[in-house]
Chain A
Amino acid sequence: MMGLPMMTILIFLPLAAAIVVAAIDRKKTGALYGVGLAGSLAALALAAVVFVRFDPDQAALQFVERMAWIPSAGVSYHIGVDGISLPLVMLTAVIMPLALLSAWGSIAERIKEFVFSMLVLETALLGTFLAADLVLFYVFWEAVLIPMYFIIGLWGGPRRSYAAVKFILYTMTGSALMLVAIITLYLHSGPSLGARTFDLAQLRQLRVAMPLQAWLFGAFALAFAIKVPVWPLHTWLPDAHVEAPTAGSVVLAAVLLKMGTYGFLRFLLPLFPQATLQFAPLLSALAILGIIYGGIVSWAQPDVKRLVAMSSVSHLGLVTLGVFVMTVPAMQGSLLQMVNHGISTGGLFLIVGVLYDRTHSRLLGDYGGVAALMPRLAPLALIVVLSSLALPGTNGFVGEFLILLGTFRANPVYAALATSGVILSAVYLLWMYQRVMQGPVAVKERARMTDLTRREQWLFIPLIALIFWIGVYPSPLLRRSEASVRALVQDVRERGNAAHLASHESRVTSHDR
């Protein structure tokens, strides 16, 4: 078993399932979904093995696989997992089977293409989180866009093509600049490292001088910030969510947005430590603006899906803040909160999907009193809502508390401002819960509001289990991220400050000359 290329198998297992799906007769709905589910569940099982075998005390990449890919250009197939990518790999592996299961019965057209797209998407996502070479990362990063474009554009709502085009143009704009920055780094790596390379570990040794480092930082930061999305680059998100089918929204919110925050941690911070320290106040300020703005705007949304989408802007603002205050608890909290947001917001979109399948409406005004008609859904929905508003005992609290703790240590004012998110999330989420679930029954066609089917119940049971598990006993996750996070924080602080001093000295000497 040890000799097997575990990570490669993990990444390409869904793709293999996709190829099998391509060979199945398109009329065999059960077989299509069955193979899709089996493929994603197999990936989950493998990810679980990795999780158990992962050595929490090691900060560096584990399960490393490395081969030359395009040696002449310094490109290698270099993958591996550490405490920063492990939570996101687990999240992806948990969410994909649920997303597929949510589509079973909901998406009835072009099922073959749909399952195929979802599996390709999973491979691209896993690759994005596991790549340790910039070209390999970029290939996976861009590969995510293609299946997602089709998922929104083919199975989406009435304005799906507008949303899909907006999604792809917006994110491509950022990615294009990132590609320029990657190539610039590559060109710079030759003189100082001996040979040009795209390898992340080697590029981390590179000391890019300051004005250029700031530009490269800006290019990477923009690509990632659009993906998160950091305020005010967020307007593609509500449109994409509103038009995407449930499964698409779930994956988009739960996993795709984390590509941005993961990118911050994996690439932005270690490659540009000096610029990171310099621009951290700016990004923190935008993050706080996002927390407050997203929270307030969510409250005034008449459309449930748009409400949940805007809440992501607020929640991911907190995650972003946790990244840039550069303390160990905040960064660990951020990583955990990426997972938590995937669980809770994924769950919220599943709830919206369950309701939409019955009423074909996303408007709060068309609901009311659903708890009386769907007594099995009501408590499950409430638990997801409570997780999203970070009630102690649920996963959300652990993440939020650690972020706020780490933020407070760095800057109490930031923490005080960010704490307003605690109030705002209660305002808009309980408002949503009341409008949909409580009050007198206001749904027009009562007969359609049948309670959860067995399949639908199984969408929520794993999420609820995770909500309580992480809320009560988060140690298995926190322990695995600690070493890598500690090393990263230390590295950024040391090299960021040292580089700062060095450039300061060189400026002084050049002035003297």
Chain B
Amino acid sequence: MVLEVIVALPLAGWLINGLAGGRLPRGVVGAIGCGTVGAACAASVMAAGDPAVAGGGLTATLFTWLSAGEFTVSAGLFMDRLSALMALVVTGVGFLIHVYSIGYMADDPAYARYFAYLNLFVASMLLLVLGGNLLVLFVGWELVGLCSYLLIGFWFDRERAASSGRKAFIVNRIGDAGFLLGILLLATTAGNLQFDRLAAASGGMAPGLLTAATLLLFAGATGKSAQLPLYVWLPDAMEGPTPVSALIHAATMVTAGVYMIARLHPLFLHAGYTLSVVAAVGAVTAFFAATVALVEWDLKRVLAYSTISQLGYMFLAMGVVMMPAGMFHLTTHAFFKALLFLAAGSVMHAMRGVVDMRRLGGLAGPMRWTAAGFAVGGLALAGVPPFAGFFSKDLILEGAFEWAQRGGAMLVWIAGLATAFVTAVYVTRAMMLTFAGPAADPGHPHEAPAVMGLPMAVLAALSFGGGLLGARVAGEPLLRYLEPFFVDSAIGVLKDRPMPAAGVITALPVAVSLAGILAGFALYRDRREVTLGALGRFLSHQWYIETLYDAVIVTPAKRLAHLLADVVETRGIDGAVNGVGALVGRAGLAVRGLQTGFVRNYAAAILAGTILMLGYWLFR
């Protein structure tokens, strides 16, 4: 029952605010929006405490959703350790961001619509993480995509916002087409989409099929979680309101791909080289996006590329079979990236929407708390101990190193290490450009109201102390909690980790991060523009990837559409139809001469016909 309640609460909030929100006072709208998510969070805590969650999992089967032939899928919910963690992150961070939104969106005329969409998102995300089978997961997966579309294009009267929302939807659909085919392949070979049945069947499935299926599912993850080659929608998604960027495009939705791999890890483990592909994509994406973040001027886009990069780390962790570490990083990232976005939102709130860092600066004075929050988030992101990001990122790099020693590619670890350095540089740059130096704006920036400040404070505390969830000194509670779930995958790695040998490996990322911070500080101390020549041009064009897509895919597709619509359709196919019509018409004209209207002509024709027929009958 409790599982249904968790999903139903934000869904009810959506219905109330969506249908009647326009007529309700703002206070009530905000209270419903926040209250339902807060209550869902409380219910999630309750559910997570249920002993069934730690055992085989808490299930709730609602009804038979689809049944055709022998194929049956039920609408069911399911909570085990993994989904308990996800539900807590989604509702917990979600609640904080809802509260923050009360202040951030206070002056927006479409206040009720905003909270309705946000609640719908939380409900969809909960459906995704609590779905009892792969198809229910997919329903949530597509519905969060819808909410992302709606919220990116929230200010739909701006052409760019509307286009960015559409782009997000379509790019995600491309990945989802792959995801759907993966589901079809699994449904056809395993005959069932229940997670436990899939896991049980995966051992007996042909490795080739399983590799194909998991690669197709991963194609969906590259869309939803903005990895190469489908990352292109996420930077543009920054057109949406900033709390949305924090919640959907940093803390929760974009991590769905990581969750999906964790959920289906038995399949991925049995699937030949899929995990190597995941590790490679994660490593390359992590490095690529970090380098682009280095040259972005738009504060939110820096954070967007940073998110892509950090998601790359999570996939890297999944790929090197350090899955609990991946989930750990997902959690800490939710804290510190949400914090960074909310701090950026606070800056925008004070600066009337300015996000170009060349027009910011000197905000550390008037916005002391926001600056402190950003600094905490930045240190966590850079991986400086004892901030949360340090522990999770460190564990991932350790895993990558061990993976290399077990025969994996050392390049993955090197890419991870290089990314750590670049990350420290770009976050220092963002910090310096935004908060240091003389005030760039003659206006009077002001600190955010308490309703925005408090959620940031909570997230700052979590970004600072959240590392304890996985720190060795604290007994790695989160990792231990997840261990039984990953029992057949990472436990060996976790248990037999050679502690002393890893000393240098642990120290190296910290050294690299500190070096990055120092480099960033040296480069951007006086907020100069650092031009990197040809390399800078390459980076500021995002490695020319979108340019390539435009030239190779988008433009030819548009040309093809017009060729088909304007030439093939009108002149070719319909031309042939009208041609046949004209031909019949002309033939009619040609034989019209026979219809003379004179009886003697017809009589002659009848006579001739009779003679011919008689002749045929007689002589055949």
Bound Cα distance from A257 to B236, whole angstroms: 40
Which residues of chain A are within 8 angstroms of B176 by Cβ–Cβ distance?
422
Is B66 touching A404 in the complex (CB atoms < 8 A)?
Answer: no
Q: Which of A301, A327, A406, A426 counts the most B-chain CB atoms under 10 A from its CB? A: A426
Bound Cα distance from A297 to B163, whole angstroms: 20
Is A430 touching B69 in the complex (CB atoms < 8 A)?
Answer: no
Is A169 touching B146 in the complex (CB atoms < 8 A)?
Answer: no
- Chain A, interface size category, equals 35 or more
What's the minimum C-beta distance from B519 to chain A, rounded to whole angstroms? 43
Which residues of chain B are within 8 angstroms of A474 by Cβ–Cβ distance?
65-66
Contact A402 to B162, CB < 8 A, known contacts A392-B142, A426-B173, A439-B157: no
Is A293 touching B564 in the complex (CB atoms < 8 A)?
Answer: yes
Which residues of chain A are within 8 angstroms of B146 by Cβ–Cβ distance?
386, 391
What's the minimum C-beta distance from A77 to chain B, rounded to whole angstroms? 34
Is A441 touching B564 in the complex (CB atoms < 8 A)?
Answer: no
Q: Mark A395-434, 1 if CB is under 8 A from B, else 0.
A: 0011001101110110010011001101100110011001
Is B66 touching A478 in the complex (CB atoms < 8 A)?
Answer: yes
Is B138 touching A392 in the complex (CB atoms < 8 A)?
Answer: yes
The 21 listed contacts between A and B (C-beta, < 8 Å) are A235-B569, A299-B561, A392-B139, A393-B139, A397-B139, A401-B135, A404-B184, A408-B187, A416-B181, A419-B180, A422-B176, A422-B180, A423-B177, A437-B156, A439-B156, A440-B157, A474-B65, A475-B67, A478-B67, A479-B67, A486-B69
Q: Mark B1-38, 1 if CB is under 8 A from A, else 0.
A: 00000000000000000100000000000000000000
Contact A423 to B174, CB < 8 A, known contacts A297-B561, A327-B69, A475-B64: yes
What's the minimum C-beta distance from A233 to chain B, rounded to whole angstroms? 8
What's the minimum C-beta distance from B99 to chain A, rounded to whole angstroms? 26
Is A423 touching B170 in the complex (CB atoms < 8 A)?
Answer: yes
A299, A328, A371: the one within 8 Å of B69 (CB) = A328
Is B181 touching A419 in the complex (CB atoms < 8 A)?
Answer: yes
What's the minimum C-beta distance from B75 to chain A, rounded to whole angstroms? 8
Indicate if B153 sits at the interface (CB-CB under 8 A).
yes
Within 8 A of B (CB), among A416-467: 416, 419-420, 422-423, 426-427, 430-431, 434, 437-441
Which residues of chain B are within 8 angstroms of A406 by Cβ–Cβ distance?
68-69
Bound Cα distance from A511 to B190, whole angstroms: 46
What's the minimum C-beta distance from A401 to chain B, rounded to whole angstroms? 7
Bound Cα distance from A300 to B567, whole angstroms: 11
Closest to A481 in B: B68
Is A482 touching B157 in the complex (CB atoms < 8 A)?
Answer: no
Indicate if B429 sits at the interface (CB-CB under 8 A).
no
Is B166 touching A434 in the complex (CB atoms < 8 A)?
Answer: yes
Within 8 A of B (CB), among A352-394: 369, 371-372, 379, 386, 391-393
Contact A329 to B68, CB < 8 A, known contacts A235-B577, A419-B181, A431-B166: yes
Bound Cα distance from A328 to B68, whole angstroms: 7
Q: Mark B415-443, 1 if CB is under 8 A from A, else 0.
A: 00000000000000000000000000000
What's the minimum C-beta distance from A222 to chain B, rounded to whole angstroms? 14
Which residues of chain B are within 8 angstroms of A170 by Cβ–Cβ distance?
577
Within 8 A of B (CB), among A318-370: 327-329, 332-333, 369
Q: Mark B559-586, 1 if CB is under 8 A from A, else 0.
A: 0111011100100011001000100000
Indicate if B169 sits at the interface (CB-CB under 8 A).
yes
Indicate if B188 sits at the interface (CB-CB under 8 A).
yes
B75, B169, B185, B581: the one within 8 Å of A426 (CB) = B169
Indicate if B143 sits at the interface (CB-CB under 8 A).
yes
Which residues of chain A are within 8 angstroms of B158 by Cβ–Cβ distance?
439-440
Within 8 A of A (CB), among B117-131: none
Contact A235 to B561, CB < 8 A, known contacts A404-B180, A408-B188, A427-B170: no
Indicate if A182 sits at the interface (CB-CB under 8 A).
no
Contact A473 to B63, CB < 8 A, known contacts A372-B157, A422-B173, A423-B173: yes
Is A402 touching B66 in the complex (CB atoms < 8 A)?
Answer: yes
Indicate if A232 sits at the interface (CB-CB under 8 A).
yes
What's the minimum C-beta distance from A440 to chain B, rounded to whole angstroms? 6
Indicate if A16 sits at the interface (CB-CB under 8 A).
no
B68, B156, B184: the one within 8 Å of A371 (CB) = B156
B64, B138, B184: the one within 8 Å of A408 (CB) = B184
Closest to B577 in A: A235
Known: A392-B143, A438-B159. 8 other contacts (CB 8 A): A170-B577, A232-B573, A300-B565, A332-B69, A371-B156, A392-B138, A408-B188, A439-B158
Which residues of chain A are within 8 angstroms of B574 by Cβ–Cβ distance?
235
Contact A329 to B69, CB < 8 A, known contacts A404-B180, A408-B184, A440-B157: yes
Indicate if B71 sits at the interface (CB-CB under 8 A).
yes
Bound Cα distance from A62 to B569, whole angstroms: 44
Is A440 touching B143 in the complex (CB atoms < 8 A)?
Answer: no
Chain A interface (Cβ within 8 Å of chain B)?
Answer: 166, 169-170, 232, 234-236, 293, 296-297, 299-301, 327-329, 332-333, 369, 371-372, 379, 386, 391-393, 397-398, 401-402, 404-406, 408-409, 412, 415-416, 419-420, 422-423, 426-427, 430-431, 434, 437-441, 472-475, 478-479, 482, 486
Bound Cα distance from A413 to B31, whole angstroms: 51
Is B581 touching A169 in the complex (CB atoms < 8 A)?
Answer: yes
Closest to B155 in A: A438
What's the minimum C-beta distance from B60 to chain A, rounded to whole angstroms? 16
Bound Cα distance from A438 to B156, whole angstroms: 5
Closest to A482 in B: B68
Closest to B159 in A: A439
Bound Cα distance from A299 to B174, whole angstroms: 16
Bound Cα distance from A232 to B163, whole angstroms: 33
Bound Cα distance from A479 to B68, whole angstroms: 8
Is B162 touching A300 in the complex (CB atoms < 8 A)?
Answer: no
Bound Cα distance from A406 to B184, whole angstroms: 9
What's the minimum C-beta distance from A468 to chain B, rounded to whole angstroms? 12
Shortest 4 CB-CB contacts between residues of A and residues of B: A328-B69, A300-B565, A438-B162, A300-B561
Bound Cα distance from A59 to B71, whole angstroms: 19
Bound Cα distance from A393 to B135, whole angstroms: 11
Is B157 touching A300 in the complex (CB atoms < 8 A)?
Answer: no
Closest to B575 in A: A235
Which residues of chain B are within 8 angstroms of A405 by Cβ–Cβ distance?
68, 71, 184, 187-188
Which residues of chain B are within 8 angstroms of A328 by Cβ–Cβ distance?
68-69
Which residues of chain A are within 8 angstroms of B75 by Cβ–Cβ distance?
472
Bound Cα distance from A430 to B166, whole angstroms: 6
What's the minimum C-beta distance from B561 to chain A, rounded to whole angstroms? 4
Closest to A425 in B: B173
Which residues of chain B are within 8 angstroms of A300 by Cβ–Cβ distance?
558, 561-562, 564-566
Closest to B570 in A: A235
Is B177 touching A420 in the complex (CB atoms < 8 A)?
Answer: yes
Which residues of chain B are within 8 angstroms of A441 by Cβ–Cβ distance?
157
Which residues of chain A are within 8 angstroms of B138 by Cβ–Cβ distance?
392
Bound Cα distance from A402 to B67, whole angstroms: 9
Which residues of chain B are within 8 angstroms of A440 by Cβ–Cβ distance?
157-159
Bound Cα distance from A372 to B558, whole angstroms: 29
Which residues of chain B are within 8 angstroms of A166 by Cβ–Cβ distance?
577, 581
Which residues of chain A are within 8 angstroms of B170 by Cβ–Cβ distance?
423, 426-427, 430
Bound Cα distance from A415 to B170, whole angstroms: 20
Which residues of chain A are within 8 angstroms of B562 by Cβ–Cβ distance?
300
Bound Cα distance from A386 to B142, whole angstroms: 11
